[in-house]
Chain A
Amino acid sequence: MNKVVKDVEQALEGVESGMTLMLGGFGLCGIPENSIAQLVKMGVSDLTCISNNAGVDDFGLGLLLQGKQIKKMISSYVGENDEFERQMLSGELEVDLIPQGSLAERCRAGGAGVPAFFTPAGFGTEIAEGKEVREYNGKPHILESALTADFAIVKAWKGDTEGNLIYKATARNFNPLMAMAGKITIAEVEELVPAGELDPNFIHTPGIFVQRIFQGEKFEKRIEQRTVRPKE
């Protein structure tokens, strides 16, 4: 089944103000940067964005925050973004902070048809407020519900015309989980190849989870913390 769309404009057709979006990536690693640029261009607002981080002030989801396009963020860590912290502390931005593992599992559950699950993470903390607690194996666990989105927007290294995806290194992170949890999943890839060119043994996301795929025009792939050691 051919999932290819012409470009980023076509890929994001139907994204409207007020929708819930999932965006893959950890920090600036593995973020769908072409699609984020297009969301800025489209000017959609009142978005609920589910993404582990909120980018930095001038890249990634930080760009949508700058334009006040986001109403609510569902994330686990926002420490790199001053504008995020400012909007959150001033009450302009609604924020739901979730433990990273719970966020990942809630996306996975959303895509896998599991409506909720019990996890020990967050028991005894403010995260647990209002959540059902049950003891399993002598330890308290809290009930967390699945997450889904109107659109899931993910970034992969290679993809084929069937929507099968392969990620590179730690740019995988949340992408495969969010790909499963979108009503419509958009994949932007660095390299789009004909079906048959990717070895089926090494595909990370089966194309069934992907509705639209396109090759990104360019990837800046900004590095957040450039750490190196001198050549010996």
Chain B
Amino acid sequence: MALDKNGIAKRIAQELRDGYYVNLGIGIPTLVANYIPEGIEVEFQSENGILGMGPFPFEGEEDADLINAGKQTITARNGAVFFDSATSFAMIRGQHVQLTVLGAMEVAQNGDIANWKIPGKMVKGMGGAMDLVASADNIIVAMMHTNRAGESKLLKECTLPLTGVNCVSKVVTNLAVLEIRDNQFHLVERAPGVSVEEIQAATSGDLVIPDHVPEMNLD
């Protein structure tokens, strides 16, 4: 069965390593914070200006001055720090953040990503996404494998305006985990009960399929 958003987040959480500073984008990536593996310590950076982001506040304890990049009310963990936007992006551009997880409308097999604009229809802006993808070494995209019209979001080339070029290293979707290298998608894992054929059919870019494709272990 294909994963839901929480399933995708749970699989991405397995990519966290002890000591990582992590930037989570809006949407599915935000959910990753709920599944930190036991025994490791990570700190979440939100680009509006906090390191050491904690969970949502208890009801009645919301603070309008304390939000994340998705404008949601949050809390600050012990040891947290606040900073201005230039310092925040110094952390990002300066590669002090070890893992970036963000959503996408399209990903291409050369690692290009598009997630900020549909010409003539939707213009939300890139926010911090262009800075993040241009500088981070370790970028995981969290998204559904296909769009609402059922079309593949994993393409030979992006059709929408780009957010960044040659930058995505890994994609986790509701169907599969894929790595990007040598201008191809490489199938690494499949969601429990999802067949290689289903993944192939939902992937419009070039897909390399090894002899054995293990199921994700989400326990």
Listed in ascending order, the chain A residues whose CB lies under 8 Å from chain B are 26-30, 52, 75-80, 85, 88-89, 95, 97, 99-105, 107-108, 119-127, 157, 167-177, 204, 221-231
Contact = CB atoms under 8 A, between A and B. Distances in A.
A83 B59 CA distance: 31
A216 to B, nearest CB: 14
Contacts of A108: 86
Contact of A170 (B49, B120, B124, B128): B49
Nearest to B131: A101
Given A29-B48, A85-B123, A121-B135, A228 B64 contact: no
Interface string B190-218: 00000000000000000000000000000
Nearest to A119: B93
Given A125-B162, A127-B130, A228-B56, A172 B67 contact: no
Contacts, number: 186
Contact of B124 (A77, A126, A168): A77
Interface string B56-93: 11111111111111111110100000111110110011
Contacts of B73: 223, 225-228
A35 B211 CA distance: 64
B37 interface: no
B104 interface: no
Nearest to A80: B71
Nearest to A112: B86
Most chain A C-beta atoms within 10 Å of own C-beta, residue among B63, B64, B164? B64
Interface of B: 46-50, 55-74, 76, 82-86, 88-89, 92-93, 112, 120-131, 134-135, 161-166
Contact of A168 (B65, B93, B120): B65
A88 B117 CA distance: 13
Nearest to B57: A228
A141 B36 CA distance: 35
30 contacts: A26-B85, A78-B124, A80-B71, A88-B123, A99-B129, A99-B130, A99-B131, A100-B126, A100-B127, A101-B85, A102-B131, A105-B86, A119-B134, A121-B131, A125-B163, A167-B82, A169-B63, A169-B66, A169-B76, A170-B66, A172-B83, A221-B65, A223-B62, A223-B73, A225-B67, A226-B62, A227-B72, A227-B73, A227-B74, A230-B59
B131 A173 contact: no
Given A78-B125, A125-B164, A170 B65 contact: yes
Contacts of A29: 48, 64-65, 67, 71
B127 A27 contact: no
Contacts of A79: 124-125
B118 to A, nearest CB: 11
A100 B93 contact: no
Q: Which 8 pairs across A and B sit closest by C-beta, in order of nearness?
A: A101-B89, A101-B131, A79-B124, A124-B165, A104-B85, A99-B130, A221-B64, A77-B125
